[in-house]
Amino acid sequence: MKTKSNIGKEIKLFGMGLSYLLPTFLLLGVFLFYPIIKTIQFSLSDVLDGGVVDHFVGLKHYLALFSSASFLNSIKVSFIFVLYTVPITIILSLFLAVIANEKLKGTKFFQMIFSSQLGISGAASSAILLFFFHPTLGTINNMLGFFGIPSIGWLTSPDWALFSVALATVWMGLSLNFILLLGGLQNISVDLYESATVDGAGYWTRLFKITIPLLSPILFFVTIINFINAFQSFGQIHILTEGGPSEATNLIVYSIYRESFIYGNYGFASAQAVALFIITLVVTLIQFKAGEGRVHYQ
Amino acid sequence: MKKALMLIIIMGLVLLGCSNSKETAKTEDGKTVVAFWHNLDGDNAETLDSIIKKFNKQSDSVKIKPSFQDNVQQQMRTVGSTNSAPTVFMGGDTAYYSQSSYITPIEEMIEADSEFDISDLNEAVVENHSLDGKLNAMPFNVFVPLLFYNVELFEEAGLDPDNPPETFSEVEKTAQTLTSKDVHGFAIPIDTSFIYNLFAIQDELVFNNDNGRTGADPTETLLNSTAGKDIYTWIDDMNKAGTFGNYGRTWSNTQLAFSSGELGMYLESSAVTGIWLDTLDFDFQTAPMPVPDGKEWTGVNQGGSQLWLSNQATDEEQTAGWEFIKYLVSPEVQSEWAASTGYVPVTPEAAEVSPLKEVYSEHEQFKEAYDALNNTEPTETTAGPSLGKVEVSEQIAQSFEDLIQGKNVEDVLNEAEEKINSILQE
């Protein structure tokens, strides 16, 4: 008798739990799971305008990925882009967070300044940067000109365009990373620093032996989201370069956008999307493996 | 629990809202509501809005609900064949929309309507917008490419602004004279349409099978022909001489260079004439696009968009949409539209009524576009390419980019030809 009522209770509890989860499931289902399943279906079919599946084609689109020079180029470009942006963003924002965390007069002001970029949307930032990067009227080239340095085709030269977009991305990502890292820094107990000082540890020792290790969970988190964000960059490219010049900034997401919404090759674009998902997943898993043991949770 | 329930109800409603029924939408006073999508922004959109307001005021059976879409074609690809499609929309890709299954050919509306005569429209425009001799959409904002030049820079350099360069070599020489430390002599925005036009002006096809205009799809590009080599070599020479300004793909960057007086001449759509007249603090003039030496100026491709009617709308909505389309191409409206924008009127009569009549006699810059259009000989070359494959346009833009990065002409053209042919033959 006792077990029976227990099972009944369990079921009731389970049902209640489910009903709490239902809104989340519904939202995720409509906006996440359904699109994912659709994408996989599309990637295996030829798709007409309006998302009408014409017929099943098996792995045709996936095989086409390997022979598409444009797609292979966009993978290469995406990895270079990640290398350009992720380390610099993290190091710079860590630096800003550390100096803004010093107990000095006016740090509140600088904390506000450093995080203010968050208030500007990506599209607006890109539109402003378009003026900075203009080949003849641009702020940057005019400043270079003042020092007698010849103009650089920031967005018009294939050698520079990716770097310029990376620069824009670093700037746009600084504030969020700064806030996350500053939050992490302020969570570290002051006692640790005090006792370390009593033991005679200098500034650098404290930084590398206390601050960085204790910040490692946040750093780990920040690294992962930066990787994913860099792989999925789109807005700044759409506004600044449209994937050009000569495909120099055609990152994977822009390539997906172009294939699907400009060219109407939905099947091929979906296969690229699935490929991007797998790449992101693998890179994240590698990071988790590499992060194990190096991340200290308090 | 209550909140969760509310959320579920709200989401259910949202989902329901997505699937609206196929009934004619009406306003409270019984007017048919016609959704209209356009892709104009800035000053030209304001002019359009005021025209729509006037239409809504004078019509007692139709109310237009305009909405701006950054990229109509992109939107129509997804919703075109659903009932969320607008009744009337503005689109530029004739080949794509004509073969889509969601439009009502405008010629059918014209035939059924005894009040409207197709001969009221500009013949060259009708010719240019027809595919296989059939007009599927109503031409509305037609523009032609022109050579825009800065009169002050011409005078400073000792050039005669009333005598603009007409041939490739004259442009090259003028660009040389105009170029100084802060000024580039000449530029072409990196956009495929200008390459197509440089073929059209000398009566050359860009693709075989009559540019895809007469039924059969093109299977080969003629980009790597003598005409193509001439065009690319011309650009390459100026680029190597440092007289050609490269402002990248963002068209507005080239415009910015011109409006700030750092660019002497450039190829541009006539649609900006009105905006330039209002905003530039120096004098500018327009001239026909230059031709290669020894070649005859044949004509230009017409750019711009047409008004399309969706067959997903109810018959009542389509009739209402047709009323609106007729209004937009009436001489009075076309006159107002062309006068404040720089688009070319699709109804010749518009040039005879004010305000366009006055504008044409006062501002030569405006008249050039009208002349270029009317002097264009209607052929497959001046009608321009009609391709189902959008990728080709990207390949041509890339070849243009490669060229001004300093790659040699032969390599650029061979590579582009190979890529485009493989796309066309797919």
Q: Could you tell me if residue B18 is inside a domain?
A: no
Asked whether the predicted pLDDT for residue A21 surpasses 70, the reply is yes
Chain A CB contacts of B256 below 8 Å: 134, 137
Q: Could you tell me if residue B402 is inside a domain?
A: yes
Question: Do B172 and B139 fall within a single domain?
Answer: no
Give the per-residue pLDDT at B49: 92
CATH code of the domain covering residue B154:
3.40.190.10
CB contact under 8 A, B81 and A50: yes
* CB-nearest partner of B402 from A242, A246, A263: A246
**Cα separation, B248 vs B258, whole angstroms:** 14
CB contact under 8 A, B1 and A49: no
For residue A22, give the H/E element and its range.
helix A2-28
Give the per-residue pLDDT at B66: 92
The pLDDT tens digits of the residues spanning B211-229 come to 888 778 889 999 999 999 9
The pLDDT tens digits of the residues spanning A253-290 come to 999 998 888 888 899 999 999 999 999 999 999 998 88
Give the per-residue pLDDT at B151: 94
Mean of pLDDT values over A212-237: 90
Asked whether the predicted pLDDT for residue A228 surpasses 80, the reply is yes
Q: Could you tell me if residue B15 is inside a domain?
A: no
Question: Do B172 and B268 fall within a single domain?
Answer: yes
Pairing mode, strands B88-91 and B32-38: parallel
Structural domain including B342 reads 32-143+303-364
Give the per-residue pLDDT at B187: 94
Q: Given CB atoms, is A285 within the 8 Å cutoff of chain B?
A: no
* CB-nearest partner of A264 from B77, B182, B394: B77
Asked whether the predicted pLDDT for residue B20 surpasses 70, the reply is no
Mean of pLDDT values over B174-196: 92
Q: Which of A25, A130, A134, A240 to mutate to test the interface with B (most CBs of B within 10 A)?
A: A134
Give the per-residue pLDDT at B48: 92
Bigger pLDDT: B342 or B418? Answer: B418
Give the per-residue pLDDT at A2: 55
Domain spans of chain A, in order of start: 2-43, 63-291
* CB-nearest partner of A153 from B4, B76, B246: B246
Asked whether the predicted pLDDT for residue B75 surpasses 90, the reply is no
Q: Given CB atoms, is B385 within the 8 Å cutoff of chain A?
A: no
Smallest CA–CA distance from A240 into chain B, residue: B250
Per the prediction, chain A carries an average pLDDT of: 88
Question: Do B215 and B315 fall within a single domain?
Answer: no
Q: Which of B13-27, B58-72, B75-89, B174-188 has the lowest mean pLDDT?
A: B13-27
Asked whether the predicted pLDDT for residue B420 surpasses 90, the reply is yes
CB contact under 8 A, A50 and B82: yes
Let me know: does A98 contact A211? Beta carbons within 8 Å.
yes
Give the per-residue pLDDT at B8: 65
The pLDDT tens digits of the residues spanning A109-157 come to 988 888 888 888 888 888 888 888 888 788 888 888 888 888 888 888 8
Asked whether the predicted pLDDT for residue B25 surpasses 80, the reply is no
Chain B CB contacts of A268 below 8 Å: none
Asked whether the predicted pLDDT for residue A185 surpasses 80, the reply is yes
Q: Given CB atoms, is B422 within the 8 Å cutoff of chain A?
A: no
Q: Could you tell me if residue B3 is inside a domain?
A: no
Question: Do B284 and B153 fall within a single domain?
Answer: yes
Longest dimension (CA), chain B: 82
Give the per-residue pLDDT at A102: 82
Give the per-residue pLDDT at A285: 92
Dihedral-angle region of residue A58 (phi above 0 means left; psi in -120 to 50 means alpha; beta otherwise): left
Question: Do B114 and B206 fall within a single domain?
Answer: no
DSSP B308-366: EEETTS-HHHHHHHHHHHHHHTSHHHHHHHHHHH-PBPSSGGGGGSTTHHHHHHH-HHH
**Cα separation, B102 vs A49, whole angstroms:** 11
Let me know: does A96 contact A178? Beta carbons within 8 Å.
yes
**Ranked by mean pLDDT, which of A190-194, B2-6, B208-212, B285-289 comes out on top?**
B285-289
Instruction: Return the DSSP state at B388.
Output: S
Give the per-residue pLDDT at B1: 55
Give the per-residue pLDDT at A274: 94
Chain B CB contacts of A135 below 8 Å: 245-248, 253, 257
CB contact under 8 A, A134 and B82: no
Instruction: Give A50→chain B minimum CA distance, Å.
Output: 4
Instruction: Give A81→chain B minimum CA distance, Å.
Output: 20
Question: Do B154 and B205 fall within a single domain?
Answer: yes
Give the per-residue pLDDT at A246: 81
Question: Do B360 and B388 fall within a single domain?
Answer: no
Question: Do B218 and B231 fall within a single domain?
Answer: yes
CB contact under 8 A, B4 and A245: no
Give the per-residue pLDDT at A194: 86
Give the per-residue pLDDT at B3: 65
Give the per-residue pLDDT at B327: 92
Question: Three-class SS of residue B373?
Answer: helix
Smallest CA–CA distance from A243 into chain B, residue: B249
The residues, any chain, with a CB within 8 Å of residue A188's CB and separated by 6 or more, are A210, A211, A214, A215
Give the per-residue pLDDT at B367: 87
The pLDDT tens digits of the residues spanning B243-282 come to 999 888 888 889 989 999 999 999 999 888 888 988 899 9
The pLDDT tens digits of the residues spanning A27-84 come to 999 999 999 999 999 999 988 877 788 888 888 899 989 888 889 999 999 999 999 9
CATH superfamily of the A63-291 domain: MetI-like (1.10.3720.10)
| Confidence band of A296 (pLDDT split at 50, 70, 90) | confident
Q: How many structural domains does chain B have?
A: 2
Give the per-residue pLDDT at B283: 93
Length of chain A equals: 298
Q: Which of A139, A246, A257, A266 to mutate to test the interface with B (most CBs of B within 10 A)?
A: A246
Question: Do B402 and B260 fall within a single domain?
Answer: yes
Q: Which of A22, A30, A71, A136 to mutate to test the interface with B (most CBs of B within 10 A)?
A: A136
User: A296: how many CB neighbours lie within 10 A of its CB?
Assistant: 12
**Ranked by mean pLDDT, which of B19-23, B172-176, B294-298 comes out on top?**
B172-176
**Cα separation, B35 vs B18, whole angstroms:** 16
